[in-house]
Amino acid sequence: MERHYGWVVVAAGALITCVAMGAMFSLPVYLQPIADETGWTRAGISAAMTVGFLVMGVAGFVWGTLSDRIGARPVVLVAAALLVTGLLIASRSRDLLLFQIAYGGLVGASGGAFFAPIMAATIGWFDRNRSLAVSLVSLGTGVAPMVVTPLATVLIEAYGWRSAMMMTGIAAGVLLVPAAMLIRRAPAVESAMATDAGMAEHEAATPPKGRFAALATPQFFVLAGTFFLCCAAHSGPIFHTVSYAMICGATPLAAASIYSVEGVAGLFGRLAFGVAADRLGVRRVLVAGLVLQAIGIYTYVHVAELTEFYMLAVVLGMAYGGVMPLYAVLARDYFGPHVMGTVLGAAAMTSCIGMAFGPVGGGWLYDTYGSYQWLYIASAAVGLGAAAMALAFPPKRADGEMAAPPAAGMAR
């Protein structure tokens, strides 16, 4: 059982990310019912999501660093409590500011705990099949919009938005707590971190000494820079696709369905890219995926028919869905397990900043030039910049430097 326990961690991680991210990103389906009942402005309600993104980025770094010290399980348990508390308070809020604090602050803070700590714990269990394992964990994020969001819609129609949000919070707690109990460090990582000799060996592999020293290395600069540019490239096109499709003549429902196509394609992309990275090398697959993403983004300039939007959604969904989990695998190639949470948390924070640029930048370009053409051209250029940045990664170590020594108990 110990030999294969890594796959239990993968399954638990996928469930946790599905439930937690689904609960957090369901706010759009609550928007209209909340506005109708409370009279709050849409901008005010949506601001809770904006706050959530910002808080999630900063919290992700804090949670990741904390998980290096105490492990992923207690971090996820605390975050689950924050998520449930935030949703319950938001569901009872009669004041917009309280709603924004509860949903944006508490729920957003919890959201940052479900990437770096879980990915760091997962990676420690795998020597081979590492890319596939990480990609399977990330499937939870892709499945969430297809499971949690429709469920929230049904609950809202049946019981109203307040009861729906409250029930979602309670259900999230019921699912997250037992799943979090299954998350634990790999024995090899645990033993290395529990002994002074093991810690000294890891710290010596990442000069200068100190838990945050990894963030000052060229490897982290390239990792964070690539992650930032990748997210800055696709966030604008993702956010403005529905608007652009409607300008091209699509109905609102048909335009919104483009997201569903991207989500389904992203699931296949995660699996395909994960398997390919294990066979061909993660850096090579990442660069190819980033180039494909840039080409797909630019192709929007020449798209006008709904069928073409769907075809492009398949390509883009596979591309950006497939490359996102690979950053965690790259981090493990260059940094030891004792700083993995810190590295992934900091990298995720830069990605959140990159995501924040796309929607605002795309809106400004449209308002300025009256067209989305320059958004797609600029985003494609940024995407090519991400691919160029990824080429700066040195080849994967052949001697296992900075990595925990493979153990017989690691999942195969």
Q: Residue 208, preceding bond cis, omega within 30 degrees?
A: yes
The pLDDT, as a whole number, for residue 112 is: 83
Amino acid at 139: L
| Neighbour count for residue 59 (Cβ, 10 Å) | 24
Say what angle helices 326-334 and 306-323 make with each other, to 10 degrees. 20
Please determine, for residue 134, whether its predicted confidence score (pLDDT) is greater than 90: no
Burial of 271-285, coded b for 16+ CB within 10 Å and e otherwise, reads bbbbebbbeeebbeb
Q: Where are the domains of the chain?
A: 2-184, 214-390
**Structural class in CATH, domain 2-184:** mainly alpha
Which tokens sit at 110?
């919890």
Paired strand residues for 126:
411
Of the listed ranges 255-259, 345-349, 373-377, 407-411, the one predicted with least confidence: 407-411
Q: Is 340's pLDDT higher than 70? A: yes
Q: Is 97 exposed, middle or buried (0-12, 13-18, 19+ CB in 10 A)?
A: exposed
Q: Tell me: the pLDDT tens digits for 176-225?
A: 999 999 998 777 666 555 554 444 444 444 444 456 788 888 889 999 99
**% of the chain surpassing 90 pLDDT:** 31
| Intrachain domains 2-184 and 214-390 with the same fold | yes
Homologous superfamily of domain range 214-390? MFS general substrate transporter like domains (1.20.1250.20)
pLDDT in tens, 219-269: 899 999 999 999 989 888 887 787 788 889 888 667 767 877 887 888 888
